[in-house]
Amino acid sequence: MKRKTIKTPQTLKGVGIHTGEVCSITFKPSEQGYISFIRTDLKAEPIIALAKNVSSTLRGTNIANEKAEVHTIEHVLSAANGLGITDLIIEMDGPEPPIMDGSSLPYAKAMLEGELKEIDQTAEVLHLEKEITFQDGDITYTANPCQDFKITFVYERKGHPLVSHQEYTFTLTPESYLKEIAPARTFGFEEEIAFLQANGLAKGGSLENCVVIKKDGFSVPLRFDNEMVRHKILDLLGDLKLTGKVLGPMHITCKLGGHKTNVAFAKKLTEEN
Ligand SMILES: [Zn+2]
């Protein structure tokens, strides 16, 4: 498998969901062998998208170096993972990518608009030799060698009248990613919004970029009946990009995972294999 980048730079602009700050993000061609983020508003080195650089996983995945931090990078990285992009420079003039519509589809479309291009170098593929498991309380991950790359995700919100249990299995190709996963939006529960805002989060959240789940309905019409579990797969694909490798054929099953455990599992995958 060859490494992949884009041919022409593409820019998107908008508000970050947690910081509420307006930011321009530009995807640029690269042949450096990895994905990096550059804060053009700061004098700082690029931050490489690797699990060891994760600085926080509170409601999103942030990475940092000594002088700069970028927040909520998982949807952008998910788009790159979904399309098989291995090499990319991502410039941002603020701390957090624009949330756009809350899904990864706008990023994936921008990357496709920039035209994918193969680099004449073999990608570093993580081939699984044996089963790898990870557990943290009720949260579990297993990865088994398989023919394709698949994810089964089990999402639960025990006792909730609308989203108590959702389960979905997804086999990754660029086409299936664009159709089944990329459109699934960020969601939050009505009762949590006050807590998030008290903690300085969700300042940029709105009806345009987030599905708010109430006891008796959703703030906007859903794109899929099981949009929540699809978004959990979207997030997991983004966090797994922090392995810095292309994940080879394997079946990952995740129950109840979130950003913190996704990153721990990404570390385990790279360390134990
Ligand atoms: Zn997300």
What digits encode the pLDDT tens for the residues 165-186?
Answer: 999 999 999 999 999 999 999 9
How far does residue 75's CA lie from ligand 1's centre (Å)?
Answer: 6
Q: Indicate whether this model's pTM tops 0.95.
A: yes
State percent of the chain over pLDDT 90. Answer: 91
pLDDT of residue 198: 84
Residue where a domain stops, chosen among 70, 89, 122: 122
pLDDT, one tens digit per residue, over 54-88 is 999 988 999 999 999 999 999 999 999 999 999 99
Q: What pLDDT sits at residue 201?
A: 81
Tell me what percent of the residues of the chain surpass a pLDDT of 70.
100
In Å, what is the CA distance from 45 to each residue of 3, 130, 131, 161, 216?
23, 37, 37, 47, 48
Q: What is the reported pLDDT for 207?
A: 84
CA of 73 relative to ligand 1 center, distance in Å: 9
| 208 vs 151, higher pLDDT | 151
Per the prediction, the chain carries an average pLDDT of 96
Q: CB neighbours of 23 closer than 8 A, spacing ≥ 6?
A: 13, 14, 15, 16, 92, 93, 94, 95, 96, 97, 98
**Cα–ligand 1 centroid distance for 232 (angstroms):** 7
Q: Is 259 annotated in the active site?
A: yes
Q: Over the Cα atoms of the chain, what is R_g?
A: 18
Indicate the residue among 87, 122, 157 that finishes a domain: 122
**The pLDDT value given to residue 205:** 87
pLDDT, mean of residues 135-147: 97
Domain boundary among 102, 122, 142: 122
> Ligand 1 center to residue 121 CA distance, Å?
31
| Mean pLDDT, residues 11-24 | 95
172 and 247: one domain?
A: yes
Print the domain residue range for 52: 2-122
* Centre of ligand 1 from the C-alpha of residue 33, in Å: 25
pLDDT tens-place string over residues 33-42? 999 999 999 9
Domain count, the chain: 2
Q: Which of 71, 75, 231, 259 is catalytic?
A: 259
CB atoms within 10 A of CB 218: 15
CA distances from 87 to 6, 28, 84, 181, 226 (A): 8, 9, 9, 22, 32
Q: Quick one: pLDDT band at residue 197, thresholds 50, 70, 90? A: confident
264-to-105, 165, 237, 239 alpha-carbon distances in Å? 26, 24, 14, 10
Task: Judge if 16 and 115 occupy the same domain.
Answer: yes
Whole-number Å distance, alpha carbon 118 to ligand 1 midpoint, is 28
* Same domain for 27 and 67: yes
pLDDT of 273 > 80? The answer is no
Distance 186 CA to ligand 1 centre (A): 5
Q: What are the φ and ψ backbone dihedral angles of 252, each rounded to 5 degrees?
A: -100, 125
In a shared domain, residues 177 and 96: no
> How far, in Å, is the centroid of ligand 1 from the Cα of 60?
7
Name the nearest CA neighbour of 76 among 149, 124, 14. Answer: 14
Q: What is the CATH number of the domain that holds 24?
A: 3.30.230.20
Q: Same domain for 143 and 164?
A: yes
Residues 216 and 156 in one domain: yes
Q: What is the pLDDT of residues 254-267, one digit of tens each?
A: 999 999 999 999 99
- On whether both 133 and 245 belong to a single domain, the answer is yes
Q: Which residue has the higher pLDDT, 191 or 120?
A: 120
What's the pLDDT score for residue 230?
98
Of 185, 256, 272, 259, which Cα lies nearest the Cα of 221? 185
Burial, 136: exposed, middle or buried (Cβ in 10 Å; 0-12, 13-18, 19+)?
Answer: middle
